[in-house]
Chain A
Amino acid sequence: MTAIALDSHEHDHPSGIRRWLTTTNHKDIGTLYLCFSFAMFLFAGALAMLVRTELFEPGLQFFQPNLFNQLTTMHGLIMIFGAIMPAFVGFANWQIPLMIGAPDMAFPRLNNWSFWLLPMAALLLLGSFLVPGGAVAGGWTMYPPLYIQGGIGYDMTIFAIHIMGLSSIIGSINIITTILNLRAPGMIMMKIPMFVWTWLITAYLLVAVMPVLASAVTMLLTDRHFGTHFFNAAGGGDPVMFQHIFWFFGHPEVYIMILPAFGILSTIIPTFSRKPLFGYHSMVYATASIAILSFVVWAHHMFTVGMPAAGQLFFMYTTMLIAVPTGVKVFNWIATMWQGAISFETPMLFSVAVICLFTIGGFSGLVLAVVPVDIQLQDTYYVVAHFHYVLFSGAAMSIMAGVYYWLPKWTGHMYNETLGQWHFWLTAIAFNITFFPMHFTGLAGMPRRVPDYALQFAEFNMISSIGAFVLGASQLLFLYIVVKCIRGGMPAGEKPWDGADTLEWTLPSPVPYHTFETAPVIR
C-alpha cells in the first residue's frame, strides 16, 4: 500500500469550532442545518411580527410602504429558503442514514459544503437590509419589471439564490445517492421507511427545478445589467415568461416543502397509533404521482396574466387532479389511526393537527384551482391564508412534530412533555386565530402585499395581528424547550416510543457519533 497518510473519519474528532467547520459527520451536519434553520425561522418570524404590527390598524403607523414591502418579501424568502427547506435537509441528514442502516451520507465532504454554502447565502440575503435602497421589496416571487427597478439589494438576492440553489443541488444529489446506494443489505426499496421515500422524491424534484430557478434569476441579472430583453416587450421578450419559468420551479418547490412533512407524519402516526402504516404501497405511488403532476400545474399561479382559455383549462384540470393523490394520503393516515391504540404525546398532537389543518389548506387550494373563483381570489388574503395553512400548519408544524419525536434519540433526553403540550396548544390555536380570518378578508376583497387597507377589513386584521403575536411568542417557548432538552432531562433510553419500529430505535440514545459502520442485516 502507499505511504500517503490518509485519515478516515473514525480517527479524527476535532473539537470546538473546528469540529463544526470541517465536519463530515451526518449527525453534526444535520444539527448545523437544524440550528441554522431555527435561527432563520425566528428572524423571518420577527419580520412577520413587524408586518402584523403595521397591519394592526388601517393607516400607516410604523413603516413606510417601501420598508413594509421589504419586510414581507424577506419574510417569504427567508422562511422558504432559510427556514423550511434547510430544516427538512437537517432531518434528512440525521435520519436517512439511521433509517436505512448506512454508515453516513454518500458524500460526507460535499455534505459539509452543501451546509456551509447556506450561511454565505444568508449573509448576502440578510446583508441586503443594510445597503442603500435596502432589501428586495418586489415580493419573493421576484417578478420583473418591478424586480428590474431595484438597487444593489436585488443583485445580492440573486447571488444568494444562486448559492442556495447550488447548496440544494449538492445536498439532493447526496441524498439520492445515499438512498439508492447505501441501504443496508435486505433493505429493499419497498421496505424503506416512508420518510426516506418522500425525501428521495423531494430530492429528485430539487435536482430538477433548482437549476431552472438559477436560469431564471440569471436572466433577471442580465436584464438588469447587461442589456438583454428576456422580460421586456420592446425587445420581443415578455414579463410573463419569467413567471412561467419561475413557477415551473415554484410549484415543485411547494411539494419540496410538503413531501418530507408527509414523510414525518407517516412515521409518527403509526408509532402513536401502535399500528403499521396503512397502504404503504399506495402512499409511495401517491407521493410519486404528486411529484410528477407538480411539473404540469405551474401556471395555476398565473390565471390572471391573460393566458388563452385552453391554457387556463389545462392547468385547472391538472391542478384538480393533484387533489386525488393528496386525498389518498389523508385517507391512509386516518386508516392508520383507525382501530389503533392511540396516545397523544406532543409529536402525535402536532401530527393530528397537521392532517386537519393541512386539509383545510388543501381544500382552499382546490377552491383556488377553479379558474373563475381564482380570478376573484388571486393575490388576495385568501391566498395568504391558503399557503400559510399549507406551509405553516403543513410544513412548519410537521417539522415541530419531527423535532419532538426525534429529540430523545438525538439528545438522549426526554423533552418536557407538559411544556411541549403547552407549545402545541398555543401554536395551534394562535395559528388559527391568525390565519383563519384571512380567508374572510380575502373573500371580501383585500389584496395581499399592501401596507394599508380599507376600513371594512379592520376588525379581521386586528384579530389576525393579535393571533400572530401569540403565535410568535409561543415559538420562544419552543426554543426554550429544545435548549432545555439538549442540556439535560430524563434519560430517554433506546426506545422511548413503544410503537416505533424504524431502525434508529435499535440504537442507544443519544446516538453514538458513528453508527452502522457494519451494516445491519434487514430480514
Chain B
Amino acid sequence: MKKLPPQAVILSLLTGQAQAALNFNLQSPVTPIAHQIYNLHTLILLVCLLIFFVVFGFMFYALFKHRKSTGHQASHFHQNFRLEVIWTLIPFLILIGIAIPTTKTVLAMKNVEHSDMNIKVTGHQWMWEYEYLGEGVRYVSNLGTPRDQIDNKVVKGAHYLLEVDRPLVVPTGKKVRILLTSADVIHSWWLPQFGVKQDAIPGFIHEAWFQVEKPGTYRGQCAELCGVGHGFMPIVVEALPPEQYDDWLKTQKISLAETSSTSSKTYTLAELTMHGEKVYLSRCAACHQANGQGIAGMFPPLIDGAPFSAGAGVTTPLAERGFWKDGKVVLGSKERHLDILMNGITGTAMQPMAAQLSDFDIAAVVSYERNSWGNKTGDTIQPAEVAALRKGVAK
C-alpha cells in the first residue's frame, strides 16, 4: 500500500475545491424537469423548516419554562379532543398543498411522447452502452479515470471518477428519449442536472426523457448497487448545439465504417498483446484484477495452475469448459477461451462480450491473456478468426 505525500492529498483536496465549492444543495438544473424538481425541493424544505421551528419552539419553551428545577408544578390535563382534531387536520391540508404541484411534475416526467430522438441505453457490469436508434451508431462508455489515481499512486484529476472515455453526445433543445435496459444486473442511469434517474432492469425497457437547455458537459453516476464496479461506472453527457451534434453523428458513421475493415489485417503477437493489455485493463481487470489473480471465491484467476475455490455455481461451468480442475485453474483450448469471452457464462458475472468489443479487441485480449502472467501458449488470435466465429453464430 503506497501512501501519498501529504501535500499531494492537500493538492487533490484543493483541486476538488477549485472545481466546486462546498455543495449544500441539488446541482444546478439544466432541464425543465430538473428545474421543477429543484423548486419542489426548496418548497418542501421551507415548509418542513417552518413546521419544525414552530413545533419545537413549543417544546423548547416547555423544556425551559416548565422545569422541575425552577419549581414548576405539573398540571394534570391529559386530553383535549379539539386540539387532536386540529393537529390532525392542519398537516393533512399542508400535505394536499404539497401534493398538487408534485402531481403535475410526476405526470410531466412520465410523458415520453413526441420525442425528437431515441437512444437505447444498456447497463453492463460496469459500463454503459449507448445506441442511437435508427442511426446505426453504437458504442460503449467506460470509466476514464486511470487505475493509478484510484490506488492513490498519482494525484487525482479534477473529474476523478466522473470521467469516461466516450461520453454520450446529445443535441441541446431536443426532447431526447432514452430506453433503458441492462445486460446483467440492475443499474440506474442518473444524471443529477437533468433530473433523470431511471433503473435499468435486465429484460425490460423503461423510458425517461430530457431536454437540455444549454451546451455543456454533465456528469452523473450509476445509482443502483451493481457489484464491485458500482462506484466506477460514471455517466458523462455532452450536450452540443444541434448543428455540431449533426456533424458529430456524421463522423461517427464514418469511423464505424473504418473499424469494420480492420478485421482483415494480420497482426504480430506484440501488436496484439499491446492492444490486448489496454482492453484488458479497461474491461476485465475490475473482476480478474490487473495481475490476473482474480478475487478468491468470486472471480477466477486467469493463470494456468492458480488455485481457485468458489461456489459450485462458479466452478462447475468452468470445469465443464475445461478451465478448472481439482481446485486449480487450467488453461483450456483457445476455442473455448474465445467462446467464454464472446458468449459469456450464463448465471455468473461473466457476460457475453461479443456485442461490446470489436473483432480486433477480442483477438487482442485473448492473445494477451494467453501470453501474460506466466501463461506462455504463444497463441496469436487474429481478428479474422473472431469475425469467422461471429459469422458462425449468425448462421
Contacts and interface: CB of A to CB of B under 8 A. Distances in A.
A377 to B, nearest CB: 8
B8 to A, nearest CB: 11
Nearest to A286: B88
Given A276-B76, A372-B105, A339 B66 contact: yes
B67 A239 contact: no
Interface string B248-267: 00000000000000000000
Interface stretch (B127-135, B181-189, B336-344): B181-189
B311 A151 contact: yes
Contact of A324 (B91, B109, B186): B91
Nearest to B149: A59
A273 B73 CA distance: 10
B74 A273 contact: yes
Given A60-B151, A146-B226, 5 more contacts: A238-B204, A276-B78, A309-B106, A340-B72, A355-B59
A244 to B, nearest CB: 12
Contact of A66 (B9, B77, B195, B228): B228
Contacts of A277: 78
Given A444-B25, A456-B16, A65 B228 contact: yes
A370 B68 contact: no
19 contacts: A137-B228, A146-B225, A238-B204, A306-B204, A309-B106, A320-B98, A327-B88, A334-B62, A341-B72, A343-B67, A360-B52, A371-B102, A375-B109, A375-B196, A449-B225, A451-B231, A456-B16, A459-B13, A460-B22
Interface in B1-17: 1, 9, 12-13, 15-17
A283 to B, nearest CB: 10
Contacts of B374: none
B42 to A, nearest CB: 10
B160 A455 contact: yes
A440 B24 contact: yes
Contacts of A309: 106-107, 110
B45 interface: yes
A318 B311 CA distance: 43
A80 B228 CA distance: 23
B99 interface: yes
Interface in A296-319: 304-306, 308-309, 312-313, 316-317
A58, A336, A352 — most chain B CB neighbours (10 Å): A58
Interface of B: 1, 9, 12-13, 15-17, 19-20, 22-27, 33, 36-37, 40-41, 44-45, 48, 51-52, 55-56, 58-59, 62-63, 66-69, 72-80, 83-84, 87-88, 91-92, 95, 98-99, 102-103, 105-107, 109-110, 149-152, 156, 158-162, 180, 184-186, 188, 190, 192, 195-199, 201-204, 206-207, 220-232, 295-298, 309-311, 313-314, 347-349
What are the 4 closest A-B residue pairs judged by CB atoms, nearest first?
Answer: A233-B203, A455-B16, A133-B297, A306-B206
B23, B77, B109, B184 — most chain A CB neighbours (10 Å): B23
A151 B110 contact: no
Contacts of A233: 201-204
Given A151-B314, A460-B22, A454 B161 contact: yes
Specify the main secondary structure of chain A where it touches its partner. helix
A5 interface: no
B295 A66 contact: yes
Interface string A325-345: 001101100111111111100
Given A323-B91, A341-B73, A376-B26, A366 B48 contact: yes
A445 interface: yes
A316 B44 CA distance: 14
A65, A275, A317, A343 — most chain B CB neighbours (10 Å): A65
A445 B193 CA distance: 9
A456 B98 CA distance: 32
A316 B106 contact: yes
A420 interface: no
Contacts of B27: 444-445
Nearest to A65: B228
Given A355-B59, A370-B102, A440-B24, A240 B201 contact: yes
B55 A372 contact: no
B221 A69 contact: no
Given A341-B68, A455-B15, A367 B25 contact: no
A496 interface: no
B207 A443 contact: no
Contacts of A445: 23, 26-27, 192, 220-221
Nearest to B108: A372
A469 B174 CA distance: 49
Interface in A370-390: 370-373, 375-376, 378-380
A169 B160 CA distance: 48
A149 B349 contact: yes
A146 B185 contact: yes
Given A66-B298, A456-B20, A132 B310 contact: yes
A356 to B, nearest CB: 6
Given A148-B347, A279-B84, A323-B95, A69 B22 contact: no
B99 to A, nearest CB: 6
Contacts of B162: 454
A359 B55 contact: yes
Interface string A114-141: 0000000000000000011110011100
A368 to B, nearest CB: 10
A143 interface: yes
A147 B24 CA distance: 34
Nearest to B147: A60
A372 B36 contact: yes
A334 B107 CA distance: 39
Contact of A340 (B24, B74, B152): B74
Contacts of B74: 273-275, 339-341
B63 A342 contact: yes
B297 A375 contact: no
A314 to B, nearest CB: 11
Contacts of B22: 440, 459-460
Contacts of A447: 190, 221-223, 230-231
Nearest to B87: A331
Interface string A441-453: 0011101011111
A306 B102 contact: no
A375 B197 contact: yes
Contact of A151 (B41, B222, B231, B313): B313
Contacts of B45: 367
Nearest to A319: B95
Contact of A454 (B51, B69, B98, B159): B159
B112 to A, nearest CB: 11
Contacts of B63: 337, 342, 352
A334 B58 contact: yes
A312 B188 CA distance: 17
A455 B309 contact: no
A52 interface: no
A69 B297 CA distance: 15
